[in-house]
Amino acid sequence: MDDAARDPVPQVATAGEYVALLRDVRRRSGLTYRELARRASAAGHWLPPSTLATMLGRTTLPRERTVVALLAACGTPAPEVERWLETRRDLEAHLGERGRGESDEERTSAGSSTTVPATIHPGVSAVPPRPVAPWPARRWLRLALLAVLGVLTVGASGALRPLAPPAADSSPTEGCPAVLRQGMYGPCVLNLQEHLAADGLTVLVDGWFGPDTTGRVMVFQAFGGLPVNGTADERLFDELAGDRRVPTTWPEDRIGKHLRQTFPEDPAGAVRVARCLSGLDPYRVEVVEDGSRRWGLFQFSDVEVSRFGVDHRTALDPDWSIRAAREIWSRTGDFGHWPCAA
């Protein structure tokens, strides 16, 4: 297409206008939300139909990775995708200067004449190319190694269970089960771990759904108001792809300082016990053999959390955990309530 035949370069001043351009791209593609989800998955992205519908129905600035997934599904060339992202970053910076609390409508009614030029063209090509993604070589090397490891391990012992392809339309991500759970491994789990890490949780991104990943899933579920079961289904991925992030918790030095102040009788013992129980990780969740869970710095059990009359989200608050531990210590005078072998 020559320059004369291209649409005029759009000007965007609000997040709502940016989303309107994305809606126009989706309309031009002629694809349904489910078809777009499949094409995004084929290009290596996660874009559930419900997430896409939510993004295009809002007037807030969408996440970069969701924009990339939509544009890749629509077949937008990689250089155009990058210009979309540059426009989004410029718009984010511009709106941040105007005040993060204002809505799009308030900014428009304020009479601002400043616009952010966008050199984007919402076109659709016949074959969707893969947009430029971060660390592509490293990511695909990991996936290849995981695939080889899976074949060798299953062939040798049969102890590990690979991810079997689901029936048609059973999951927004083709090739992945509708539910991921502990014991699984592979690219689908790798994708889950990358989402958890992007949303503020420290997790080893190795493609193995082990106890650590289960605990991190439970943390995200607790903060998101989801059923806390440690499995990842479509609803969980929808939340991970949205704007929700797990709050930043306390660093180790702050935890150590608070422990020493709260337990002046035995400050070193308080730090030692908490480190032994949770590694001084306020978001530590462990599942014990009977299926019950232990939460937070002092690993309070489900029963103890219930007796204190708090929810799981509160149990992950380091301040609450330390105060609750002090309450127990004040009755016993020692840390015998928490036997812990290093």
> Each residue of 307-317: pLDDT tens digit?
999 999 999 99
In degrees, to the nearest 5, what angle opens at C-alpha 241 toward C-alphas 98 and 39?
Answer: 115
**Residue 1 pLDDT > 50:** no
Structure tokens at 85: 């992202």
pLDDT at 174: 54
134, burial (CB in 10 Å: exposed 0-12, middle 13-18, buried 19+): exposed
> In 175-205, which positions are buried (b, 16+ CB within 10 angstroms) versus exposed (e)?
ebbeebbbebbbbbbbbbbbbbeebbbebeb
| Backbone φ, ψ for residue 263 (5° rounding) | -120, 70
**Residue 7 pLDDT > 60:** no
> In 244-283, which positions are buried (b, 16+ CB within 10 angstroms) versus exposed (e)?
eebeebbeeeebbebbeebbeebeeebbebbbbbbebbbb
Whether 211 and 287 have beta carbons less than 8 Å apart is answered as yes
User: pLDDT tens across 212-257, in order?
Assistant: 999 999 999 999 999 999 999 988 988 888 777 899 999 999 999 9
Q: Domains, the chain, ranges and CATH?
A: 3-117 (no CATH), 136-240 (1.10.101.10), 252-332 (1.10.530.10)
- Write down the residue that tokens 């955990």 correspond to: 321
Using CA atoms, how far apart are residues 16 and 142, in angstroms rounded to an integer? 38
In the predicted model, what is the mean pLDDT of residues 281-297?
94
pLDDT at 13: 82
Structure tokens at 168: 């048609």
Q: Which residues contact 70 (CB under 8 A, 6 or more apart)?
A: 22, 25, 26, 36, 40, 47, 52, 55
Output the furthest CA–CA distance in the chain (Å, rounded).
82
pLDDT at 44: 79
In the predicted model, what is the mean pLDDT of residues 263-279?
96
To the nearest 10 degrees (0 to 180), the angle between helices 49-57 and 64-74 is 110
Average the pLDDT over each of 99-103, 117-121, 258-262, 293-297 and give the range with the smallest value: 99-103
**H or E element in which residue 318 lies:** helix 318-332
How sure is the predictor about 292, in pLDDT bands with cuts at 50, 70 and 90? Answer: very high
Using CA atoms, how far apart are residues 84 and 131, in angstroms rounded to an integer? 12
User: pLDDT tens across 66-116, in order?
Assistant: 899 899 999 999 889 988 998 988 888 887 766 544 444 444 444 444 455
Average the pLDDT over each of 194-203, 207-216, 246-255 and give the range with the smallest value: 194-203
Q: Which residues contact 142 (CB under 8 A, 6 or more apart)?
A: 190, 206, 207
Q: Which residues contact 227 (CB under 8 A, 6 or more apart)?
A: 221
How sure is the predictor about 34, in pLDDT bands with cuts at 50, 70 and 90? Answer: confident
**Residue 210 pLDDT > 90:** yes
Average the pLDDT over each of 4-13, 161-170, 193-202, 255-264 and give the range with the smallest value: 161-170
pLDDT at 281: 96
Backbone region of residue 310 per phi and psi (left: phi > 0; alpha: psi in -120 to 50; beta: other values): beta
Q: Does 200 or 268 have the greater pLDDT score? A: 268
pLDDT at 151: 45
Helix, coil or strand: residue 12? strand
Q: What percent of the chain has pLDDT over 90?
A: 41
pLDDT at 211: 94
Average the pLDDT over each of 32-46, 52-66, 121-135, 195-209 and give the range with the smallest value: 121-135
Q: What percent of the chain has pLDDT over 70?
A: 73
pLDDT at 96: 73
Which DSSP string corresponds to 251-300?
Answer: -HHHHHHHHHHH-TTSHHHHHHHHHHHHTT-TT-EEE-TTS-EEETTTTE
User: pLDDT tens across 141-181, in order?
Assistant: 555 555 555 544 444 433 333 333 333 333 344 568 899 99
